[in-house]
Chains A and B, each alone.
Chain A
Amino acid sequence: SQTIHQWPATLVQPVGSPLSLECTVEGTSNPNLYWYRQAAGRGLQLLFYSVGIGQISSEVPQNLSASRPQDRQFILSSKKLLLSDSGFYLCAWSAGNQPQHFGDGTRLSIL
């Protein structure tokens, strides 16, 4: 069966520091991969999506970037974090046009 791993679970970072969040999927090949952010009490905002290695599309302009160095690895990064980058970051995968399944998420607090 397929599983998705996200880490770390929680992260506290100072303003201006860099960020790297990692997501890996097991048990499937060539998944579609997605990064979302959820602000407190809000819905999920799609940040980035990828349909293959090295193929990254951004949904909204922001202070973040994403990379997919391997088929089942998706990384979310920032060079300098802003206070507005705080939130609950979720990685998801899907097989083609099937439902998306989420990792456990990373709660990011910026001080």
Chain B
Amino acid sequence: QKEVEQNSGPLSVPEGAIASLNCTYSDRVSQSFFWYRQYSGKSPELIMSIYSNGDKEDGRFTAQLNKASQYVSLLIRDSQPSDSATYLCAVNSGDNFNKFYFGSGTKLNVKP
């Protein structure tokens, strides 16, 4: 099974700061990468997808992908207390089944 590694945290940042979340993956076959946000007791919610090397920005979120280093990250600018959640990194299987493999998640705490 593919390995997806994340620091479990918690990562604590003050309100208004930049939160940086990191993820590494083991299989070079993976072509698609995703970040999900999961509030306590809730199901994961997709926040970013990235498919090619470089940066992708969406509002306060920026995903960064480096396939050579097998590394994907998520930056959250101007962090808000409502961003406090667990962030899950997912990579796909690279085949027609589109299976996703998830990291164990990084817990983010944004302090007011």
Q: In the bound complex, how far is the Cα of B93 from the Cα of A97, in angstroms? A: 10
Q: Which of B2-55 contact A (CB under 8 A)?
A: 4, 6, 32, 34, 41-46, 49
Most chain A CB within a 10 A radius of its CB, from B49, B97, B101: B97
Q: Are B100 and A102 in contact (CB under 8 A)?
A: no
Q: In the bound complex, how far is the Cα of B88 from the Cα of A2, in angstroms? A: 23
Q: Are B43 and A99 in contact (CB under 8 A)?
A: no
User: Count the A-B residue pairs with Cβ separation under 8 angstroms: how many?
Assistant: 58
Q: In the bound complex, how far is the Cα of B90 from the Cα of A49, in angstroms? A: 16
Q: Are B46 and A44 in contact (CB under 8 A)?
A: no
Q: Are B92 and A102 in contact (CB under 8 A)?
A: no
Interface of A is mostly: strand
Q: Are B104 and A59 in contact (CB under 8 A)?
A: no
Q: Are B44 and A44 in contact (CB under 8 A)?
A: yes
Q: In the bound complex, how far is the Cα of B41 from the Cα of A32, in angstroms? A: 25
Smallest CB separation, B43 vs chain A (Å): 4
Q: Check B99 for interface membership: any CB of A closer than 8 A.
A: yes
User: A32 to chain B: which residues have CB within 8 Å?
Assistant: 97-98
User: B41 to chain A: which residues have CB within 8 Å?
Assistant: 107
Q: In the bound complex, how far is the Cα of B15 from the Cα of A29, in angstroms? A: 43
Q: Which of A7-48 contact B (CB under 8 A)?
A: 32, 34, 36, 42-46
User: B32 to chain A: which residues have CB within 8 Å?
Assistant: 97, 99
